[in-house]
Amino acid sequence: MNLRSILFYAFFAIVGLTAISAQSKASVNITGRVLEKNGNLPIEFATVLIADKTTKKPISGTTSLENGTFSLTTNKDNFYIEISFIGFRKKVFNTYQISNGKVDLGDIHLEEDAESLNEVVVRAEKSQTVFKLDKRVFNVGKDLSSTGASALEVLNNVPSVNVNIEGQISLRGSQGVQILINGKPSILSDQGANALGTLTADIIDRVEVITNPSAKYDAEGTSGIINIVLKKDERKGLNGSVSLNVGNPNSNSVGVSLNKRTEKFNLFSQLGIGRRTFPNDFISQNTDLVNNTFLNTTGVSEKNETFYNLILGTDYHINSSSVITLSGNYTYEVEDENSNNQFSFYQNDVLEQGWTRTELTEATNPKWQYELQYKKDFKSHEDHDLLFSALGSFFGKDQTSDFEDVTTLGTRDNFNQHTSTDFKEARYTFKLDYTYPFADKYVLELGSQYILNDVSNDFQVGTFDNGNLVLDPNLTNVFDFNQNVLGIYSTFGYEGDKWGLKGGLRLENTNLKTLLRTTNENNNRNYTNLFPSAHASYKVSDDVSLQAGYSMRIYRPRLWDLNPFFNIRNNFNISTGNPNLLPEFTDSYEITSIIKAGKADFNLGVYYRYTTDVIEDVTTFENGVSTSFPINAGTSSTTGIEFNTKYSPFKWGSLTADFNWSGFQRKGSYEGTSLDVDGNRWSSRVTTKFKLPASIDLEITGNYRSKFRTIQGTQNDNLFANLGIRKKIFKGKVVANLAVRDLFASRVFESTTSQPNFSLYSRRQRGRFVTFGLSYAFGKGEAVEYSGRRRF
């Protein structure tokens, strides 16, 4: 008999003896019902554990059903029973009565553990940043000042990220950032502040800041990637919440969130309706230094939005390792905006002309998005998985604006203007990712992504002549934008006890076509690029770690960068796109240290970016009219230092601080004029949180953005504060929130453009926002600060 036969018979002998031994032991069935001591209500999903009395190792376990009952069986005879549920004191049964092979524990009453529950709530509410090999993860807690807030306010709380009053997002001072939703490109990230504002704080689970993305990620975004990951509740049973918000200016809404989870299905839905208002006060000044003329504009505007939104989706768990998700979102918005501008024209310091310009804009915006996703988890490793997703979305805008100019001084003619916009954008994203861990410490990633973007913008501008609209052929056209990007990637990583290494390569092909139909101007480009990435980490000790990273990035000009249509809200300060823009490329390097010292965590990093064909806005001036548009201005190099810390000296208080400084050198020219500029900028944020008596939480955040030079002028500094107060009622099932954003109404955005022949000044402010919210949760849901704002 050979060795293989001996091992074969020995194996089956052992299995047979084990089976006989198991059958010889009488099984014991354990039953009971778990209830709350106060109220005698059943507790669903309480954990029931059987463990060995000697080794303390678990033997078997289960969870209680909806009525609180449970049942499980064991062949062991030396065990104890432990029953627990979050927020309650656990119960342990070391002695019990076995009768006819059964242990009936009867009704088991768990007593609420106030101290434990409070600790859990505190941990759940505090936002925190976790550092990983190639990204930082900002876990979004229920920050008090986020009540009634959108994703833009959430991003303003994330280290390294800044959002200005126009909703423009910058990462480490650069606006070349790619915004993803759940790891995929979205129409929301292309439509500016209005679109991204449809995401509300309560549905955001975390924000991933990836300053040096690996090759797994889309190469778009020269300063990095911000990935907004949305929540999806999968607690079993029926869960949900109802929320009401009121605010000044208008932030009024009602929202309902429902979730039902069974063994196979997870059904989720959200419904919201409401109205919100955005006021805006502004001043602009145009000075013609050659002709000694001066135009002053002061104005106020108010934008109102009524919105309706619905989210429906389901997860179907095919088996324990495979799940398929189908979801859809629909949003419908009705907008109206009115403004009143006062114009004063001076010649040689003498007021010669005066007029008012009023605006009434109306728009409807339908949006929808649908996604099919399949995920397969392989049993060989918890991170071994395959993910496929197909995402489709649509954004439309049907908008009309009427402008009326009325002369109050001088001989300027009165006139009326009319504009109309018919905008349609469709986007489709197909994504396949495969992750294969092997040999304990190695990981191979492979994948591909194909994005198709199709846009049409029909824009008309006309003036009324004797009641008839006469279109301006220089400002009326149809702009078509079609961009398809195909990417494939591979990464290989190693993570040991001390060292972590990861390298990757991504290939992307871009096919871009733009067309101005009326004038038949087109711009077609097709280019292929390789994007390498490399990351390393070293664990000096349990409290000190080092990370280093490199990646090559691209910023492709987006629709609004290329769209040549004018914004004529103010005929003397016009902005437009440039259909001839080229993409910019960036090489990005960084080294970061992560230090834990007692009750404080520190993060100190240095970074360097070098960008070619950098895209910058320039302004030209002619006949008193300034026109701003983007160009490829040359090269830019940026060196920066970043510091983050969190200090929690007491259970009742914590402090979080962020600081970022960068120095930059930009070299370039436009039409023979040098655009070279050297400068630096810095920003800081400090947040303090306090737990007050009577279960009241208080949060205060201060923000400062320094003054810095632009290629043609300066952007002034900015200082503002936010305040939040929360009170939990009825054991946290009801939450009352008060949020004040821009507490002292000090968030003012000022910029100047200084050139030899002209100078420009602009000042804008939105003012203080106050919101009060109530939220009630039922089932196993949590009360949330749901603003019910538009969602996509």
Q: What pLDDT, on a 0 to 100 scale, did the predictor assign at position 87?
A: 63
Distances from the Cα of 704 to the Cαs of 174, 657, 745, in angstroms?
17, 12, 14
What backbone torsions phi and psi does residue 194 show, to the nearest 5 degrees? -60, -45
Distance CA 542, CA 786 (A): 39
What tens digit of pLDDT does each residue of 613-625 get? 999 999 999 989 9
Two tokens at 424?
A: 């349609």
The predicted structure's pLDDT at residue 582: 93
Mean pLDDT, range 548-565, rounded to an integer: 88
Q: Are the CB atoms for 541 and 505 separated by under 8 Å?
A: no
Confidence of residue 270 (pLDDT cuts 50, 70, 90): confident
Q: Which two tokens stand for residue 409?
A: 């001084």
Task: Please choose, from the candidates 370, 361, 565, 369, the residue with its C-alpha nearest in 3D space to the C-alpha of residue 481.
Answer: 565
Question: Which stretch of 207-211, 582-586, 781-785 has the lowest confidence by average pLDDT?
Answer: 781-785
Q: 755 to each of 620, 621, 680, how far by Cα in Å?
A: 10, 10, 20
**Between the ranges 49-53, 87-91, 181-185, where is the mean pLDDT highest?**
49-53
- Give the per-residue pLDDT at 673: 87
- Report the candidate in 455, 453, 437 with the shortest Cα–Cα distance to residue 445: 437
Q: Is the pLDDT assigned to residue 627 strictly greater than 50?
A: yes
> If pLDDT is split at 50, 70 and 90, which confidence band does 420 have?
very high
Task: Give the other-Cβ count within 10 Å of 597's Cβ.
Answer: 11
Residue 629 scores a pLDDT above 90: yes
Is the confidence at residue 641, as pLDDT, over 60?
yes
Which pLDDT score is estimated for 119? 33
pLDDT at 503 over 70: yes
Which pLDDT does position 447 carry in this prediction?
96
Instruction: Give residue-wise pLDDT tens across range 467-490.
Output: 889 998 888 889 999 999 999 999
d(CA 530, CA 758): 43
Q: What integer is the mean pLDDT of 515-531?
A: 92
**What pTM did the predictor assign?**
0.74
| Digit-coded pLDDT (tens) for 763-787 | 999 999 999 988 887 765 444 433 3
**What percentage of residues in the chain have a pLDDT greater than 70?**
83
> Are the CB atoms for 578 and 609 separated by under 8 Å?
no
Q: What is the structure's pLDDT at 315?
A: 85
What is the per-residue pLDDT for 202? 63
φ and ψ of 110, to 5 deg:
-95, 135
Pick from 41, 112, 102: nearest CA to 73:
102
* Cα–Cα distance list, 567 to 345, 417, 421, 460, 722 (Å): 21, 13, 11, 11, 32
User: Rounded mean pLDDT of 753-765?
Assistant: 95
The amino acid present at 240, given as its one-letter code, is G
Question: Of 684, 705, 595, 600, nearest to 641 (Cα)?
Answer: 684
DSSP string, 463-513: EEETTEEEE-TTT-EEEEEEEEEEEEEEEEEEE-SSEEEEEEEEEEEEEEE
d(CA 196, CA 791): 9
Confidence of residue 20 (pLDDT cuts 50, 70, 90): very low
CA dihedral angle for residue 524, residue 526, residue 527, residue 528, rounded to 10 degrees: 160
Query: Tens digits of per-residue pLDDT, 240-258?
Result: 778 898 999 988 989 887 8
Please state the rounded mean pLDDT for residues 646-674: 87
Report residue 407 as tokens: 């002369």
Nearest to 361 by CA among 340, 336, 341: 336
Band of the pLDDT at 200, cuts 50, 70, 90? Answer: low
pLDDT at 336: 95
Q: How far apart are CA 388 and CA 449, in angstroms?
A: 10
How confident is residue 74, by pLDDT bands cut at 50, 70 and 90?
A: confident
Return the top range by mean pLDDT from 298-307, 310-319, 568-577.
298-307
Q: What does the pLDDT average to over 60-69? A: 79
* 568 has pLDDT over 90: no
Averaged pLDDT for residues 285-303: 96
176-182 mean pLDDT? 75
pLDDT beyond 50 at 372: yes
pLDDT value of position 559: 80
Residues 6+ apart with CB under 8 A from 380: none
Residue 493 has a pLDDT of 92
Round the average pLDDT of the chain to a whole number and report it.
83
Give, as one character, the DSSP assignment of residue 18.
Answer: H
pLDDT at 697: 84
pLDDT score, position 161? 75
pLDDT tier at 348 (50, 70, 90 boundaries)?
very high
Quick one: pLDDT at residue 19?
A: 41
673, burial (CB in 10 Å: exposed 0-12, middle 13-18, buried 19+) = exposed
Higher per-residue pLDDT: 62 or 406: 406
Average pLDDT over residues 549-568: 85
Domains of the chain and any CATH numbers: 20-112 (2.60.40.10), 117-230 (2.170.130.10), 237-778 (2.40.170.20)
pLDDT tens sequence across 212-246: 888 998 888 767 788 887 765 555 567 777 889 89
List CB contacts of 446: < 8 A, sequence separation 6 or more. Answer: 433, 434, 436, 489, 490
Instruction: Find the helix or strand (DSSP H, E) in which 114 lies.
Output: helix 114-125
Closest of 521, 426, 512, 451 to residue 479, by C-alpha: 521
CA-closest candidate to residue 682, choices 642, 625, 729, 635: 642
d(CA 226, CA 177): 7
* Between 590 and 181, residue with greater pLDDT: 590
CA angle 653, 657, 662 (to 5 degrees): 180
Three-class secondary structure of residue 569 per DSSP: coil
Largest separation between any pair of C-alpha atoms in the chain = 116
Residue 1 burial (10 A CB sphere; 0-12, 13-18, 19+): exposed
What residues does 387 pair with on adjacent strands? 375, 433
Q: What SS3 class is residue 253?
A: strand
Average pLDDT over residues 23-36: 77
Residues 419-433: what's their mean pLDDT? 94
pLDDT tops 50 at residue 542: yes
